Amino acid sequence: MADAADRREGAARVNARHASDRDERYATRLESFGDIVIGFSLAQLALSFSFGPHLDGRMLSGELTAFFWTFAMTAWLWLLYRRIGEDYFVPRASMVALHMVGLAGIVLLIFGVQLVMHYGTPPAPPDEAQIAVVFYFVVLALTLAACGTQFAVGAWMRRGSIDPETSRRGKLTAYRLIAMAVCVLATAAVLPLHGMAATVFLLPSMAGGSIIGRLVGSFALRRSVPG
C-alpha cells in the first residue's frame, strides 16, 4: 500500500513538473509571437510614409510626429505585455484570447495612424477625417481595455502564487488602463473630431484617465484590505 501511494505521489509530481514546463514553453512562444507581430507592424508603419513630388516641411514634421508617437505608444504597450508575461499570464483560453485581442489592437493602431495621416488632412473631406480619427480613438481604447483586463484577470487567477504587492500593482495597473480606455472613448464621443487637430486631445484624455484610475484603484484596494 505504501509503495502504491509513493508511486502515485511520484507520478503526480512528474505530471505537475511536465505541466509547468509545458505552460512555460507556451508562454514563451506566445511572447515571441507578440514580438514578431509588433516588429512587423512598426516596419510597416515606416514603409507606409508617403512621398510627394517635393519635400514639404509640414508633411515631413507631421509624419515624423505620427511615427514617434506610434513608436512610443507601441513600446509602452510592449513593456506592459512584458509585465503581464512575467507576473500575471496564465495559459488559459480567456487570457490567450485577451492577449490576441491586444495584439490585433496594436496592429490596427498602426493601420489607424495611416488612415489619419491619409484622410485626416486636406483635401480629404471632413466626414472622412472624422471617421479616421474616431477609428483610431476606438481601437486605442479597446487595446487599452484588453491590456488592463489581462492585468485584472491575471492578478485574480494567480492570487495564490504571487506576492501581495505584485498582485496589488497588477490590480492598480488594471484600474489605470481601463480608466484610460473609458476616457479615450468619452473623448471620441463628445469632441467634434475633425482630422489631425483632434489628436491633441488624445494625450490629455489618457493622462486624465490614468490619474482617475489610480485614485479609484487606490481607494478600492484600500477598502478591500481586511480591517
Q: What pLDDT sits at residue 21?
A: 58
Q: Would you say 144 and 181 are in contact if contact means Cβ atoms under 8 Å apart?
A: yes
Q: Is this model's pTM higher than 0.95 or not?
A: no
Q: What pLDDT sits at residue 212?
A: 95
- CB atoms inside a 10 Å sphere around CB 27: 19
Q: Would you say 126 and 195 are in contact if contact means Cβ atoms under 8 Å apart?
A: yes
Q: What pLDDT sits at residue 3?
A: 57
Q: What pLDDT sits at residue 18?
A: 44
| Residue tagged 511615427 (cell numbers) | 67
Q: Would you say 174 and 155 are in contact if contact means Cβ atoms under 8 Å apart?
A: yes
Integer Cα distance of 128 and 117 in angstroms: 12
Which residues, other chains included, contact 129 with Cβ-Cβ below 8 Å and sequence gap of 6+?
119, 120, 121, 193, 194, 195, 196
Q: What pLDDT sits at residue 199?
A: 74
Q: What pLDDT sits at residue 177?
A: 96
Q: Would you say 109 and 73 are in contact if contact means Cβ atoms under 8 Å apart?
A: yes
Q: Which residue ranges in the chain fall short of pLDDT 70?
A: 1-23, 47-60, 62, 120-124, 126, 191-198, 225-227
Which CA distances in Å does 158 have to 3, 89, 134, 151, 170?
Answer: 34, 8, 36, 10, 11
Name the residue among 151, 37, 26 with its Cα closest to residue 91.
26
Which CA distances in Å does 13 have to 2, 23, 146, 162, 166?
Answer: 17, 15, 35, 21, 27
Integer Cα distance of 45 and 86 in angstroms: 28
For residue 22, the one-letter residue type is R
- CB atoms inside a 10 Å sphere around CB 190: 9
Integer Cα distance of 77 and 73 in angstroms: 6
